[in-house]
Chain A
Amino acid sequence: LDSRLPLVIFLHALTPAAARDEFQEELVIRPLHSGDIYASFQFRTLWDTDFLQEGQKVSHYRLFPKSLGQVLSKFSVRELHISFSQGFWRTMQWGQPFIPSPPGAELWVWFHDTVSDVDGNWKELTNVLSGIFCASLNFIDLTNTVQPSASFKPLGLGNATDHRFLRYATLPREIVCTENLTPWKKLLPCGSKAGLAVLMKSEKLFHSSFHSQAVHIRPICQDEQCSSKAWELRQTLNVVFDLHTSGQGKKEWSLFKMFSRTLTEACPLASSSKVYVDITDNPELFELSPATPLLGQAVVLGDRRTYSVYDLSRAETFGQLRSFNLLLRDMLRPLLHAERYVAGFGLQTGEIHTVIYNNHPYRAFPVLLMDSVPWYLQLYIHTLTVTSKSRDNKPSYIHYQPAKDRHRPHLLEMLIQLPPHSMTEVTVQFERALLKWTEYTPDPNHGFYVGSSVVSALVPSMVAMRTNFTQDQPLFSSFVPVKEESSYFVRVYTEPLLVNLPTPDFSMPYNVICLTCTVVAVGYGSFYNLLTRTFQVDEPSPPLSKRLANLIRRIRGVPLLT
C-alpha cells in the first residue's frame, strides 16, 4: 500500500481528470428487531471515463479494478449486477435489506444496444465472471436464462427498455464461501489491508445467519447537471450475526466480537470512510462507547432513520468501538413481503403457491411478479389464478414465455394490484417431467431447485423521500434512484423451491431389474410364440416306391398302404 500511494498522488498531479476518480467506504450497523445484528458494507468506486465513445481504448486504471474494466469494454456491458448469497433474508423478522438478493447466485446484465450477438456475449461473460469470482457461474446457460420484460430495468443512466439486451439468471444452488470472498476483496483499492475491509475475516463472516456479497456496475452522472458521465462500481457485503447463538443470550456486541478485528485506519485512498450505527429505535436505551457527537439522518426504504456517525478519516474516532446494550421493540411488519411453496404430494403433479402480503393499512399498490421456472416443471398456465381477499384479482399485465424442453425456462411476469392490508395468492399447477437418465444430477434424490421469484414494487412511503441527488448522502440510501417523493422501490425475493422429480433408483438392483426385464422381454416373445402356436404332426412324405405302390393299388381298387 505504501508504495502505491505516492504513485496515485503523482497521477493526480498529472491528469486533472483523474482527480475525479473517487472511492468511498461505509459500514452500517443496524440492530434488528429480532435481536440480531445487521452489518452492511458498501464500497463505491467511481471511474471517470467516457464509456460512450466507441473504439476508445481504456488503459488507465486507477482505483477501478482492471479485471472488471476490461470485462466491461470487451463485452460491451452497460450494466452488471451480480450477487452471491448464502442464506435467506428473513423479511418478516429483519425488515427490508438495503440491497436485496436471492439465495445462491444472481446475475443480470444489460448489454449495449450495439451488441449483435447477445447470447454469445452472455455466454462468454458468464464464463469470464465465473473465473473472476471463483464461482460456478459457468452453469448459466440458455436453459436458465430469461429476458424479463418489466422487472429488471436499468438502474443507471440511459433509458434502455428493449429487453432483448437484458439477460437474467439465477443459480439457487450456488454455495458461497471464502473462495468467493477473496476475489471480491481484491477488487477493493485497499484490498483487505486497510479501511473497513480489515473487518472482513471469513471465519467470522461465515459464522452468521445470512451472508451476501454483491457487485453492481452501472453508468451514472458525475455531477448534478449530468455534464459528464462515469462508471460506478458498488461492492456491497451484508451480514446478519445471530446474537442468540454467539452471545449466550446477552444483547451485547462490539466490533471485535463480531469480526474479531478492530478498525485502525481508514483506507488512505478513500475520500470518505464512515461507520453508521442505527439508533432510531429508543436511542436512550443505547449506550455506545465511545460516544459520537455526529448524528445523521437518512430516509431509507420509506423510513426516516437516525444514525450515529463515526468518521474514520478523523483521528479522534480511534478510541475503540465498544459494546452497547439495547432492548427489543415490537416487530414492525414489513410493508411488502412474499413467500412461496410447493403444494400437493406425489411425484406427478404439484402446485406452486406464491403468497404476497401488502401490510400497508390503507394504500393499494401494484407489484411486478417475476417467476422463472425450469422447463422440467411443466406449468399448466391455464390453471394460473390470482386471488386477493378470496376474490379473483385480474393482473393488468401478463407476459408469459412458455418453456422449450431442454432449451429455455418458463418466464412469467405479472403486474398485480395488491389491495391494502391483504394477502394475494398466485397459484399455478405443474407436472413433473421425467428426465432422460443422463440429465439427472449426481444427487437426484436431493431434488431440483427452482429459483426465487422476484417481487418488485414501488411501495408508498411513510415519509417523503429525497429525490435530489446530493453528495453527502450516505451510500446505503442512494443505490436505487428515487423518482418521486411518495414512494420508494423495493425488491423482495421469495425462497427458492426444492422439488422432487420422479427419479429412478440408480442402484445395483435397478440395473439388475433393467437387465432382467430385457431378458424377460426377449424370452417372453419366443415363449409366447411357442405357447400360442398350434402344432401339427407333419407326416413325412412316403418313399417313392410306396407312392407308386399306392397308385397301382388305387387303380386296382384295393385299400391303400399307410
Chain B
Amino acid sequence: MGLLSDPSRRKVLTGLLTRLNTPICIVCYLAGIVWFMGLAFEPFTLRTYMSENAMGSTMVEERFSSGERALSLAKEFDAHKRKAGGMPVEWLVKAMQSRGLEVFTQSFSRKLPFPDENKERYMVRGTNVYGILRAPRAPRTEALVITAPCSPGNTNNQAVALLLALAQYFRNQIYWAKDIIFLVNEHDLIGTQAWLEGYHHTNITGMEYSPLQGRAGSIQAALSLELSSDVITSLDLVLEGLNGQLPNLDLANLFYAFCQKLGVLCTIQGKLQRNDWDTAEGYTHAAQTMMLMVLKQACGRSWGDHGLFLRYHIEAASVRGINSFRHYKTDATTIGRLLEGMVRKLNNLLERLHQSYFFYLLPSLSRFVSIGYYMPAFGLLAVILLLRVSFPGLCHCFSVSLQPSSPGVLTVLTPVVISHLTGVALYLLPVHLQEMAVEHFPVSETEAVVLTAIAIYTAGLALPHNTQRLLSGEGTEQGWKVLKLTALLYLAVLLGCTALINFSLGFILAVTLVPITASITPHMPKALYALVMVLLSPAFTILYCVFIYQELIEAPVSVSEGWMLFLSVISQGILDHALYGSLVYPLLALFIYPCWLMFWNILFWN
C-alpha cells in the first residue's frame, strides 16, 4: 500500500517495470515453460486418491465368470454381422431380450457436410440397439450406461459380446439400485450422438433420429468398451472428451484401483507407468505421457464414445483393450470382472461423481496435476501480455486515442473489422463453397474444403497492405500503438477464457502466440519478422502439434506424410464442429486467427 500511495516510490516501481520490461517478459516466458515441464516431475505432482466415499471403502467382490462364453458369443456376433453387412439389429434385439432386458432400437441418419475420407462415409444411416436392465425396486430415476460401438470389419466384436455376457450376469443379481443401459451403437460417435440427443430430446447438430421409446431417468455415469481381440495385454483408459472436457478424476481412480486389484496392466495414452522417476528416462516418459494428454485435450475432439456424454454432465470414460504382443495376457473373464467391479461401485454412488477434480493433467495413472498447479504456467505466459500493455509508450497513447476527435479509433477499427471478416470467411466459406470448388478444380469435396480453408487463410495475409491505406491514408505512429494495445488486450482475454475451459489449448496457443505478439512493432526487419510470424501462426501450430503427436506415439512421419495428416486434421476439425459441436474450429477461425491478423497488420503498418 505504502509503495503504491507514495508517488515517488510508485514512480520508481513503474520505472523499473518500464526499464526491465523486456527482461521480465523473457523471464516470465521461460519460467512458464519450465513450470509446465516441471509438472511431469513426480515430486511436484500429487498421488491420486479416491475422493468419493461411496466408492472408496465399499469393496465389492467380482464373480463374473463367463468370459469364455463371451468369446464364443463374439464369433456368433461376427457371423451375424457379416451376414447383415453391418449391425445385426434383429439378432442383437433377440440376444438382449433373451437375457431379460427391455430392448429398444433407434434409427438415425445424418448427411455429413462433406465426405469424411478417413472413415469413408458421407450419408450415414444406422440403428442403435439398447437394452435396459431395470433395477428391482428402483423408481427409474437413475441409470448407468455401458456402451460398445459396433464397428465395421471384425473390430470390437469382443466388446459387444462381453457387453451381452455382462448383461446376462447382471440380470441375475439383485443388488442394482440404478437401471443399467446396455447400448450398442452403430457408426461410433455419430450413433452415440444420435442416442444422446434422442435420450435428452435435444437437437444441436441437425441429426435426424427416431425418438426413443424407453428411458431410465438421469444417467449418472457411462463406460465405453472397446475390445478387438480375445486376449488383451493391457487396458488403456481414454478420458479426453469433446472440447477438452474431462470426466471426474474419481472415474480414473476407480479404473486404476480395479486394475491394481485384479492385476491387469493399465495404461494411459498407451504408456505404461514407470517407477524410476528420478532418472532422466523416467522423467521423459512422464513428460511424454503428459504432453500426449495436453495435445489430445487441446484438439478438442472426442477420443472415444465417452467424450460426447460429458456435455450432458455424465461422467464417462472409454476402456480400450490393447493387444501389443507383450507376454502378459489378460483373458475376457478378468476384463468382465473389472467392468463388473466398476459398475457395481458406480451403482453404489449416492450422488453424482463430484468429489474429485474435473480439471487435471495426468503424467501417469497414479499421479495427477490439479488445476492449482498447472494454471501458474499459463499465468506466467499471460502476464507477459499484460506487462506489454502497461508498457508506457502504449499506455500513454491509449488515453489520447480515446478522444473522439483523434483519428485513432477509426484506424484501429478498420483492421479489427477486416480481420474479423476474414475470420468469418474462413469459418463459413470452406463448407459452403465446396460445390463451386469441385466444379472448377479437379479435387474431391474434402480436398476442396481443406484447400479453400488454406487459401482463405493465406489470402488473409495479403490484406494489411491494402486496407488501412485505402481508408485513412498513411498509418501514424500512434495508430499502430493503439492497435497493438487493443490486440494485446484482446489476445489476453481470448487466451484467458480458452485456458479456463480447455487449459491445453490455451497453453499451446499462448506458447506460440505470446512471444511474437509481445514483441511486434512496425520498425522491425519486415521480411525476417514476417517469416517468424507466419511460422508461429495458428496453422503452423497445428502442423507442429501433428508432428509432435506422431513423435510421441512413436510413429514418426515424414514431411509429406505429416502434410497429409495436417490436411486431414483440418478436415476432421471442421467435421467435428459440424457433427458433434466441437468448438476448436470456430474458436480458431473466428477469434484466434483474426487476432493474429491484427498483429500481422502492425508489422506492415506504414
CB of A180 closer than 8 Å to a CB of B: no
The complex places the Cα of A449 from the Cα of B137 at a distance, in Å, of 16
* Residue contact A88 to B202, C-beta cutoff 8 Å: no
Specify which of B1, B139, B218, B355 is in contact with A172 (CB 8 Å cutoff): B139
- Residues in chain A near residue B5, CB distance under 8 A: 530, 535
Q: How many cross-chain pairs have Cβ atoms below 8 Å apart between A and B?
A: 100
Instruction: Give residues of chain B (297-326) contacting chain A, Cβ–Cβ below 8 Å.
Output: 311-313
Instruction: Give residues of chain A (324-355) contacting chain B, Cβ–Cβ below 8 Å.
Output: 339, 341-347, 351, 353
* Residue contact A208 to B142, C-beta cutoff 8 Å: no
- Residues in chain A near residue B351, CB distance under 8 A: 443-446
How far, in Å, is A444 (CB) from chain B's closest CB? Answer: 8
CB of A207 closer than 8 Å to a CB of B: yes
* Residue contact A211 to B172, C-beta cutoff 8 Å: no
How far, in Å, is A191 (CB) from chain B's closest CB? Answer: 25
* Residue contact A446 to B352, C-beta cutoff 8 Å: yes
- Tell me the nearest residue of chain B to A244, going by C-beta: B100
Instruction: Give residues of chain B (195-233) contacting chain A, Cβ–Cβ below 8 Å.
Output: 200-202, 215, 217-218
- Residues in chain B near residue A200, CB distance under 8 A: none
CB of B80 closer than 8 Å to a CB of A: no
* Residue contact B136 to A208, C-beta cutoff 8 Å: yes
- Tell me the nearest residue of chain A to B136, going by C-beta: A209
The complex places the Cα of A505 from the Cα of B353 at a distance, in Å, of 12
CB of B436 closer than 8 Å to a CB of A: no
Contacts A244-B172, A351-B201: A86 and B141 contacting too (C-beta < 8 A)?
Answer: no
How far, in Å, is A500 (CB) from chain B's closest CB? Answer: 7
Which of A245, A443, A531: most chain B CB closer than 10 A? A245
CB of B171 closer than 8 Å to a CB of A: yes
CB of A495 closer than 8 Å to a CB of B: yes
Specify which of A245, A353, A497 is in contact with B141 (CB 8 Å cutoff): A497
How far, in Å, is B6 (CB) from chain A's closest CB? Answer: 8
CB of A318 closer than 8 Å to a CB of B: no
Contacts A344-B201, A345-B200: A87 and B137 contacting too (C-beta < 8 A)?
Answer: yes
* Residue contact A88 to B352, C-beta cutoff 8 Å: no
- B1-36: CB near A (< 8 Å → 1, else 0) gives 100110100000000000000000000000000000
CB of B470 closer than 8 Å to a CB of A: no
Main SS of chain B's interface residues? loop
The complex places the Cα of A244 from the Cα of B354 at a distance, in Å, of 35
- Residues in chain A near residue B200, CB distance under 8 A: 343-345
The complex places the Cα of A179 from the Cα of B171 at a distance, in Å, of 28
The complex places the Cα of A343 from the Cα of B172 at a distance, in Å, of 31
The complex places the Cα of A242 from the Cα of B138 at a distance, in Å, of 14
The complex places the Cα of A535 from the Cα of B2 at a distance, in Å, of 13
- Residues in chain A near residue B354, CB distance under 8 A: 445, 505
* Residue contact B172 to A88, C-beta cutoff 8 Å: no
Specify which of A88, A206, A244, A526 is in contact with B1 (CB 8 Å cutoff): A526
* Residue contact A211 to B312, C-beta cutoff 8 Å: no
* Residue contact B7 to A104, C-beta cutoff 8 Å: no
- Tell me the nearest residue of chain B to A104, going by C-beta: B139
CB of A93 closer than 8 Å to a CB of B: yes
* Residue contact A344 to B202, C-beta cutoff 8 Å: yes
* Residue contact A500 to B202, C-beta cutoff 8 Å: no
Specify which of B139, B174, B202 is in contact with A343 (CB 8 Å cutoff): B202
CB of A389 closer than 8 Å to a CB of B: no
The complex places the Cα of A343 from the Cα of B354 at a distance, in Å, of 22
Instruction: Give residues of chain B (152-173) contacting chain A, Cβ–Cβ below 8 Å.
Output: 171-173
CB of A434 closer than 8 Å to a CB of B: no
- Residues in chain B near residue A339, CB distance under 8 A: 215
How far, in Å, is B11 (CB) from chain A's closest CB? Answer: 10
* Residue contact B139 to A345, C-beta cutoff 8 Å: no
The complex places the Cα of A511 from the Cα of B22 at a distance, in Å, of 39
* Residue contact B311 to A500, C-beta cutoff 8 Å: no
The complex places the Cα of A434 from the Cα of B90 at a distance, in Å, of 46
CB of A558 closer than 8 Å to a CB of B: no
* Residue contact B217 to A497, C-beta cutoff 8 Å: yes
How far, in Å, is B590 (CB) from chain A's closest CB? Answer: 22
The complex places the Cα of A343 from the Cα of B201 at a distance, in Å, of 5
The complex places the Cα of A341 from the Cα of B174 at a distance, in Å, of 25
- Tell me the nearest residue of chain B to A243, going by C-beta: B100
CB of A498 closer than 8 Å to a CB of B: yes
The complex places the Cα of A446 from the Cα of B215 at a distance, in Å, of 18
- Tell me the nearest residue of chain B to A445, going by C-beta: B351
Which of A87, A353, A537: most chain B CB closer than 10 A? A87
Could you tell me how many residues of chain B have their Cβ less than 8 Å away from some Cβ of chain A? 32
How far, in Å, is A501 (CB) from chain B's closest CB? Answer: 12
Contacts A87-B137, A353-B201: A345 and B350 contacting too (C-beta < 8 A)?
Answer: no
The complex places the Cα of A447 from the Cα of B353 at a distance, in Å, of 12
* Residue contact A242 to B139, C-beta cutoff 8 Å: no
Specify which of A92, A342, A444, A526 is in contact with B218 (CB 8 Å cutoff): A342
Specify which of B140, B172, B173, B352 is in contact with A495 (CB 8 Å cutoff): B140
- Residues in chain A near residue B141, CB distance under 8 A: 447, 449, 495-498
CB of A253 closer than 8 Å to a CB of B: no
* Residue contact A447 to B218, C-beta cutoff 8 Å: yes
The complex places the Cα of A206 from the Cα of B354 at a distance, in Å, of 31
- A381-412: CB near B (< 8 Å → 1, else 0) gives 00000000000000000000000000000000
- Tell me the nearest residue of chain A to B201, going by C-beta: A343
* Residue contact B350 to A446, C-beta cutoff 8 Å: yes
The complex places the Cα of A245 from the Cα of B168 at a distance, in Å, of 11
CB of A90 closer than 8 Å to a CB of B: yes
- Residues in chain A near residue B7, CB distance under 8 A: 535, 537
- Residues in chain B near residue A245, CB distance under 8 A: 136, 171-174
- Residues in chain B near residue A449, CB distance under 8 A: 141
Instruction: Give residues of chain B (78-100) contacting chain A, Cβ–Cβ below 8 Å.
Output: 100
* Residue contact B172 to A507, C-beta cutoff 8 Å: no
- Tell me the nearest residue of chain B to A207, going by C-beta: B174
Instruction: Give residues of chain A (244-294) contacting chain B, Cβ–Cβ below 8 Å.
Output: 244-245, 248
How far, in Å, is B71 (CB) from chain A's closest CB? Answer: 22
- Tell me the nearest residue of chain B to A211, going by C-beta: B137
How far, in Å, is B13 (CB) from chain A's closest CB? Answer: 12
CB of B134 closer than 8 Å to a CB of A: yes
* Residue contact A210 to B139, C-beta cutoff 8 Å: no
CB of B62 closer than 8 Å to a CB of A: no
Specify which of B4, B100, B171, B313 is in contact with A500 (CB 8 Å cutoff): B313
- Residues in chain A near residue B173, CB distance under 8 A: 245
The complex places the Cα of A499 from the Cα of B352 at a distance, in Å, of 12
CB of B116 closer than 8 Å to a CB of A: no
CB of A527 closer than 8 Å to a CB of B: yes
- Residues in chain A near residue B331, CB distance under 8 A: none
- A68-88: CB near B (< 8 Å → 1, else 0) gives 000000000000000000111
CB of B102 closer than 8 Å to a CB of A: yes
CB of A148 closer than 8 Å to a CB of B: no
The complex places the Cα of A341 from the Cα of B139 at a distance, in Å, of 12
Instruction: Give residues of chain B (263-305) contacting chain A, Cβ–Cβ below 8 Å.
Output: none
How far, in Å, is B439 (CB) from chain A's closest CB? Answer: 39
The complex places the Cα of A535 from the Cα of B354 at a distance, in Å, of 50
Which of A86, A446, A449: most chain B CB closer than 10 A? A446
* Residue contact B136 to A87, C-beta cutoff 8 Å: yes
How far, in Å, is A277 (CB) from chain B's closest CB? Answer: 23
Specify which of A86, A244, A498 is in contact with B171 (CB 8 Å cutoff): A244
* Residue contact A345 to B311, C-beta cutoff 8 Å: yes
The complex places the Cα of A445 from the Cα of B200 at a distance, in Å, of 19
CB of A103 closer than 8 Å to a CB of B: yes
The complex places the Cα of A186 from the Cα of B114 at a distance, in Å, of 71
- Residues in chain A near residue B174, CB distance under 8 A: 207, 242, 245
The complex places the Cα of A341 from the Cα of B219 at a distance, in Å, of 12
How far, in Å, is B251 (CB) from chain A's closest CB? Answer: 15
* Residue contact A88 to B140, C-beta cutoff 8 Å: yes
Contacts A497-B141, A530-B1: A345 and B312 contacting too (C-beta < 8 A)?
Answer: yes
- Tell me the nearest residue of chain B to A210, going by C-beta: B137
- Residues in chain B near residue A444, CB distance under 8 A: 351
The complex places the Cα of A449 from the Cα of B7 at a distance, in Å, of 60
| 13 A-B interface contacts by CB (under 8 A) | A87-B138, A208-B136, A209-B136, A343-B201, A344-B201, A344-B202, A345-B313, A346-B313, A495-B140, A497-B141, A498-B217, A500-B352, A535-B7
Q: Ordered nearest first, which 3 A-B pairs have the shortest CB separation?
A: A103-B139, A343-B201, A87-B137
